[in-house]
A and B are shown apart, each in its own frame.
Chain A
C-alpha cells in the first residue's frame, strides 16, 4: 500500500472468497455422489425437483464446510495445506463465515424439505450437525479415530440423494453410505502418511502421531479389507449388475494391492522414494470411489434400455 488515505484500506472480501468457504472441491464430490444416489433410485424424480434437491445438498455441504472453517481457523493457520483458506489468510472474518454457514444451512434444509420430503431434509440437517459439531468441534481434536466416525458426514450425500427420490431408506442407500464410510479412513490415512508433520504441528491427533506410522499402515490394510465386502455386496443389490461387479473386482484388487504395498513399507522406504507409494495409493483411492459410483450410474442408465442389473 503506497498511498496514504483516510479510507479503510483493509482487504475487501470478494464473492470468490465467500465461495471458497464452501469448500468447492469437497462440494463437487458431494454433488457427484448425491446425484448418483438420486439417479440410481427406483423412483422417478422430476428433473427440476432433482436439480433443486442436489443444489440443496451441495449448499448444505458447503455450509457445513464454512462452519468447519470458522471453528478450525486456528488449526488451519498452522498447516501449510490450509493456511491459504479465507479465514487464516485474513480475507474473510470468522464472524462472516459463521453467519454464512448458519444461514446457508437453514436455507438448504428448509428448501430441501419443501421441494422434496422431510426425510431428505432431516438427513441433510443431521449431516451438517454431524460434520460441524460431532466431527469439527468434538472428535477432530480429541481422538485419532476422528476421521473414522467423522467420515460418516461425507458418506451421507448418496443416502440423501436416494431419500430425495424415494422418500425412504433402503439396503442400497445404506450400502452406498457404508462404501464411503469405510473408504474414508484408508483414503485419509494414506494422505496423513505423506503430510504427517503438518497435522503434528497443528496439534490434531492423527493416527500417525498418536500410534505411529506402522500402526497407521496396519489400520489402512484392515479398513481396506473391510471395504471389499461392502463394495462387492453393493453389487449384489438391485442397483448393482455385471458392469459394477467387474469394476468393483478390479478396483478393489488395485486398492488392496496398494494397501498391502504400504503395509510392507518402512519409514526408510518412504524417505527413499519420498512417499511415492503412499501418494499413488492416495490417488488410487480417489479413482476407486469415482469408479464405483460411475459404474452404478452406468448400470442405472442401461436399465432405462432394459439392460444392466442382474
Chain B
C-alpha cells in the first residue's frame, strides 16, 4: 500500500471541510461586523481616550475646570 499525500479521507470529507471553513469565515465576519457597528455607535471618540492613562486637560469638562 503506497503512502499517498492525498489520503482518500481528504476526498471523502471534502464537503464537511469546506462547510466548517465557511462557518468559521462567517463567524469571523460576524464578530468583525459587530465590532465595527458597536465602535461606531460609541459616538464621540474622545470618550474612550480617557483610558490611555495620560493626563489630557482638553477632555476635562469645562465646569470641573472652573471649580
Contacts and interface: CB of A to CB of B under 8 A. Distances in A.
Interface of A: 7, 12-15, 46, 48-49, 52, 55, 111, 114-115
B34 A48 contact: yes
Contact of A14 (B8, B16, B33): B16
Contacts of A115: 34
A52 B15 contact: no
Interface of B: 8, 12-13, 15-16, 19, 30, 33-34, 37, 41
A46 B33 CA distance: 12
21 contacts: A7-B8, A12-B12, A12-B13, A12-B16, A13-B16, A14-B15, A14-B16, A15-B15, A15-B16, A15-B19, A46-B41, A48-B33, A48-B37, A49-B34, A52-B30, A52-B33, A52-B34, A55-B30, A111-B30, A114-B34, A115-B34
A114 B27 CA distance: 14
Contacts of B8: 7
Nearest to A19: B19
Nearest to B16: A15
Q: Is the interface of B mostly helix, strand, loop or mixed?
A: helix
Nearest to A7: B8
A13 B16 CA distance: 8
B62 to A, nearest CB: 32
Contacts of B37: 46, 48-49
Nearest to A47: B37
Contacts of B15: 14-15
A93 to B, nearest CB: 14
A55 B34 CA distance: 13
Contacts of A15: 15-16, 19
The 5 closest A-B pairs by CB, nearest first: A15-B19, A48-B37, A12-B12, A14-B15, A48-B33
